[in-house]
Structure 1
Amino acid sequence: MNQKLFFACLIALFGLSAIAHYGHWGTIPEFCLSAAAILFVAGFLGKATESVAHYAGQRLGGFLNATFGNAAELIIAIFLVKSGHYEMVKASITGSIIGNLLLVLGLSVFLGGLKYKEQKFNVQLAGHNSSLMILAVIALFIPAIFGASEHFSADQSETLSLAIAAILIVAYILWLIFSMITHKSILEDAVETTPDHGEEAAWSKGVSILFLVLATVMTAFVSEWLVHTLDSFTEKFNLSAIFVGAFLIAIVGNAAEHSAAILLAMKNKIGAAVEIAVGSSLQIALFVSPVLVFVSLLFGEPMNLVFTTIELAAIGVSVFIATSISRDGRTNWYEGSLLLFVYIILGFAFYLV
């Protein structure tokens, strides 16, 4: 899609979703227009982030893409927390983690592997990512296991969740210092580390930053409109909150990362694609979900980190296969297909809940 047509669709869908929301057009039109609008807004966010990343280099660019790609997910989750939809929030966190590890990474590795026989990225970065993913699993398993104990009260579960949330935020900040400052040279890819990659940026640095801010604001509005329709939409189609949160919201919310990571992998920049997909999952698990615990305190009723057995199983198997495939720093199309198969299996299971 050329740039003029993309912006025309973006403006049209954003305007229509606003009119549908404030004009009370009904559940289905409001949901469909908001979902379509957020896909284009997320695409706009992805383009702006990629343009900013052009001036920042591959590793920092991948981090920025993952961060602003998660902006839609975070904003949607905050509105869900405000509305008291904690079950759907946890499902969307689960969906975002498994969606990035299985769907985004899977498609990136698969489509990149079809074009290039084998793709390589920094093996030390892969090892650190694997360790951080295991930390995330441990941090989510502990509250669920102890919370199920007869010796653990609800207040103790909340206290444990707050403590773990604080620890995870510290761990994530230390990881940024480690990977971006003290050990930056060790974790960079040997290839394609120059800021321009031999390509032209879509916009100038100033325009890119302006568009990044604008896209984030638009995401906030569309996210609120989408969340407004969820109660009636799930009831109308008899869908479970866990399926809507883990798959529909997660796929829509992560649309920016989907396109950016896949396009980078197809340009043989698998390192940047992995940085976006795996880095985004780590950011959700180690930063976004703990931040939501503290955000919930502002609305009077704290959210804990006690996830259901189904959600923990989904996160656990996703981390297991993603770690197994990415730890050696090499990928091929068949490994991408394995990630996609696991995602489809989980999708059927969640739908039947």
Structure 2
Amino acid sequence: MLRLLLLLIVPVSLALAWFQAPPVWVFAAGAVATAVLADRVREATEHLAERVGGALGSLLNVSFGSIAELLLALFVLTGGQAAVVQAQVTGSIIGTGLLGLGMAMLAGGIGREKQLFNRDAIGLLSTMLTVVLIALLLPAVFDATQRAAVARPIVAIADEHLSLGVAVVLIALYLINLVYTLVTHRRVFTAAKDGEETGEGGTTQGWSVARSLTVLVVVTAVVALEAELVSRSLEQTAELLHLSSMFLGVVVLALVGTAADLFAAIVFARDDRMTMVFNICIGSAIQMAMVVAPILVLVSWLIGTPMNLVFGNPLDLLAIGGTAFVVRAVTADGETTWYEGVLLIGLYALLAMAFFFAAG
């Protein structure tokens, strides 16, 4: 019932936009609506994946898992705010890797001495996150070293070309990862998932394929509409609230796109399904960096609004690097406690504070 009531925010947001309400109200309502709809996309995808089963079901989860984030970023990008999109990429990585994982560990650890997860399966995700860090550091380091020796316009062109190359390689690596986890080593990862009992977070009554597809198509279309409202009112909202667009991208837009993953992770943690929690949180961060961000780079080149992977603000690189380092440390022993969750939440709060005071 509560989830149905939350859907009422969708017509409210459309009405606010239609009657030209203050941008802050349109932005807030559109952001909440996008988060609510993202959860419906996730639900429809899960039901559809259960019906088709196996590798195809996993591929569907991968394909539609970040649709809200992608659409939101695309509309912001077409508005010429590439820096905000970069901030959203950073925010999504630290939002799921630190805040989401931390909240889940805290929620699941209360009343338990510790929680266990499959260290081998999650170790691969940790390694992929480290590769992502290096891939995102490369364009920034390249840009910094070249500016001292080459004319600025030439560096800008080289940055764009390098970013396109990095984007293609990241997407290729992700596709190969799908082959590895869904085909050649499918039994290993299936066994890791089957090792956890299905708790309250599991689906109780499956939808038909027709219903799942209908909900998926309709909700995705509405998400696109809401994302357009949010992106259109973003700049005015930042000015009225005296906040930087960077902060809105890192914190607000990122949390809007990942809200469904955060809530799902908390539910699974309470059911003591920590392997699933890590798959959701770290997997979402990896998907943002290896799929969504590269797609945005390629699309920006096609639509004539170039976006590169040169993160101009060192805070972005510190945040992504810190997340990769901490996740690597947390996954080393195969167990978690509620206090480790508090530490992750605290680190996220520190990074968010820095972005709040940063200009841009």
RMSD of the TM alignment (CA)?
2.4
Question: Does 1:247 pair with 2:251?
Answer: yes
Q: CA deviation at 1:200?
A: 4.8
TM-score of the pair, normalised by structure 2: 0.90
Q: In 1, distance between residues paired with 2:193 and 2:164?
A: 41
| Corresponding residue of 2:3 | 6
| Corresponding residue of 1:259 | 263
| Corresponding residue of 2:39 | 43
Q: CA deviation at 1:258?
A: 1.1
Question: Does 1:182 pair with 2:199?
Answer: no
Q: Secondary structure at the match of 1:25?
A: coil
Q: In 2, distance between residues paired with 1:104 and 1:56?
A: 29
Letter in 1 for 2:157: D
When structure 1 is superposed on structure 2, of 193-202 and 95-104 the one drifting more is 193-202
Map 1:146-185; keep pairs closer than 5 Å.
Answer: 146-149=142-145, 150-152=148-150, 153-185=155-187
CA deviation digits over 1:316-347, x for unaligned, max 9? 11111111101333222122111111111111
Map 1:94-105; keep pairs closer than 5 Å.
Answer: 94-105=90-101
| Corresponding residue of 1:319 | 324
CA deviation digits over 1:35-89, x for unaligned, max 9? 2222321232233234345556799877755653411111000111111100100
Which one of 103, 119, 144 corresponds to residue 115 of structure 2? Answer: 119
CA deviation digits over 1:234-279, x for unaligned, max 9? 1111211211100010111111111111111211221111111101
When structure 1 is superposed on structure 2, of 37-46 and 88-97 the one drifting more is 37-46
> Do the aligned residues in 2 keep the contact of 1:41 with 1:215 (CA within 8 Å)?
yes
CA deviation digits over 1:126-155, x for unaligned, max 9? 221111111101011111011012235111
Letter in 2 for 1:325: V
CA deviation digits over 1:197-244, x for unaligned, max 9? 696534423223322222222211111111110010011112112111
When structure 1 is superposed on structure 2, of 41-50 and 172-181 the one drifting more is 41-50
Q: In 2, distance between residues paired with 1:19 and 1:189?
A: 48
Q: CA deviation at 1:106?
A: 1.0
Consecutive unaligned residues in structure 1, runs of 5 or more = none
Question: Does 1:208 pair with 2:174?
Answer: no
> Do the aligned residues in 2 keep the contact of 1:62 with 1:272 (CA within 8 Å)?
no
Q: Secondary structure at the match of 2:343?
A: helix
> Do the aligned residues in 1 keep the contact of 2:163 with 2:308 (CA within 8 Å)?
yes
| Corresponding residue of 1:348 | 353
CA deviation digits over 1:267-310, x for unaligned, max 9? 12211111111011001111111110000012213211001211
TM-score of the pair, normalised by structure 1: 0.91
Q: In 2, distance between residues paired with 1:59 and 1:240?
A: 42
| Corresponding residue of 2:232 | 228
When structure 1 is superposed on structure 2, of 81-90 and 211-220 the one drifting more is 211-220
Q: CA deviation at 1:187?
A: 2.6
The alignment of Structure 1 onto Structure 2 pairs a total of residues equal to: 349
Q: In 2, distance between residues paired with 1:55 and 1:78?
A: 30
Q: Secondary structure at the match of 1:47?
A: helix
> Do the aligned residues in 1 keep the contact of 2:193 with 2:275 (CA within 8 Å)?
no
